[in-house]
Amino acid sequence: MRVIVTGGAGFIGSAVIRHLIENTDTEVANLDKLTYAGNLESLASVAASPRYRFYQIDICDAQALDAAFSEFQPTAVMHLAAESHVDRSIDGPSDFIQTNIVGTYNLLEATRRYWNELPSDAKLNFRFHHISTDEVYGDLEGTTDLFTESTPYSPSSPYSASKASSDHLVRAWQRTYGLPVLLTNCSNNYGPFHFPEKLVPHVILNALAGKPLPIYGDGSQIRDWLYVEDHARALVEVVSKGIIGETYNIGGHNEKCNLEVVEGICELLDELVPLASNDERARTYKELITFVKDRPGHDRRYAIDASKIQEVLGWVPQETFETGLRKTVKWYLQNDQWWQRVLNGDYRLDRLGTDI
């Protein structure tokens, strides 16, 4: 395959590219605008591969997209580029509308222009894989209900509404124009190279600095946690073997409330880097937990039924939450240079030292 990955310098996108380069023969073009969440240092291990190339492109730039498609000649597109932080979407929804909706429209049109000119056999084998979120479904009131691929959409935040909109656009481009699309909706990801504003890395780094560990409300919000490298494997399975027009929900089979997640991180840190007995801040990391005012429209529970992707494609997660969280905490302890450069902003400097 020759795959365009949009948003490949982001958390999930970089995991997908590392998996493709390290475990397959796929050629990869990474299209990324390099917003604050894009970090090329997450791709250092594969950047020198002759099968990898990088284009700094905004998916809202139709001309740049056409040029990249023409030069790279992809056999598939994996669309991950998105604004994805719920709190940021509440404070400023405009970027989410522009990137997630307008950007997806521009990418669909660039793909359609390219696809329409392909020879018939290449046209038949082409794939457009749109990667979305379980947040488009809203939340679950019961304790046993699960999101399935047919769950009605009911987004709660500007972020999830913009992703729901992009999902609808992708499906419309198949029904109207025949574009061969695949969709996936995933649960909460965690793992190495996660931008520090998200819950798991934020708690790890705050704890190491002796800062408060903020939890919204009472911490009872439940999420299904998916290790990012498991997710990357699933996405490659879908784009390679998935049935055109189908949607696949991807979950980690690990429902945990936010308080459990934070306490789990604290317990691992107590084991791996215990606080000094005379530390004035706390004796255990759990003592740093602080409950703060809940955010508006905070969904109570997400939970994925991932039986379809298991039955159809044979994918199951390899990590439990306990094994994945241990790997994640250890990674942050062993890779302080990566996250220190994110925290101080140095990751946004190119080799000439200019802001990109």
Catalytic residue among 32, 58, 135, 139: 135
Has residue 325 been placed in a domain?
Answer: no
User: Residue 302 has what pLDDT?
Assistant: 87
The verdict on whether 135 is a catalytic residue reads: yes
Q: What is the pLDDT of residues 279-305, one digit of tens each?
A: 666 789 999 999 998 878 787 888 999
Catalytic residue among 105, 114, 159, 285: 159
Has residue 206 been placed in a domain?
Answer: no
- Section 309-326 average pLDDT: 97
Q: Can you give the pTM of this predicted structure?
A: 0.94
The verdict on whether 139 is a catalytic residue reads: no
User: Residue 351 has what pLDDT?
Assistant: 36
Catalytic residue among 58, 83, 134, 255: 134
The residues near 167 (Cβ < 8 Å, ≥ 6 apart) are: 130, 132, 136, 153, 183, 185
Is the confidence at residue 308, as pLDDT, over 50? yes
Has residue 204 been placed in a domain?
Answer: no
Has residue 285 been placed in a domain?
Answer: no
How many structural domains compose the chain? 1
Q: What is the pLDDT of residues 101-146, one digit of tens each?
A: 999 999 999 999 999 999 999 999 999 999 999 999 998 877 678 9
Has residue 77 been placed in a domain?
Answer: yes
| Backbone phi, psi, residue 76, to 5° | -160, 155
Has residue 214 been placed in a domain?
Answer: no
| Backbone phi, psi, residue 174, to 5° | -75, -50
User: How many C-beta neighbours within 10 Å does residue 211 have?
Assistant: 14
Q: What is the mean pLDDT of the chain?
A: 93
What is the extent of the structural domain holding 137? 2-195+224-255+302-320
- Section 199-219 average pLDDT: 95
User: Residue 278 has what pLDDT?
Assistant: 60
Is the confidence at residue 352, as pLDDT, over 50? no
Has residue 137 been placed in a domain?
Answer: yes
CATH number at residue 229: 3.40.50.720
Which neighbouring-strand residues pair with 182? 129
Q: Is 243 helix (H, G, I), strand (E, B) or coil?
A: coil
User: Residue 193 has what pLDDT?
Assistant: 98
Q: What is the pLDDT of residues 53-101, one digit of tens each?
A: 999 999 999 999 999 999 999 999 999 999 887 888 888 999 999 999 9
The residues near 325 (Cβ < 8 Å, ≥ 6 apart) are: 190, 200, 261, 264, 265, 268
Name residue 354's amino acid.
T
Has residue 188 been placed in a domain?
Answer: yes
The verdict on whether 255 is a catalytic residue reads: no
Is the confidence at residue 36, as pLDDT, over 70? yes
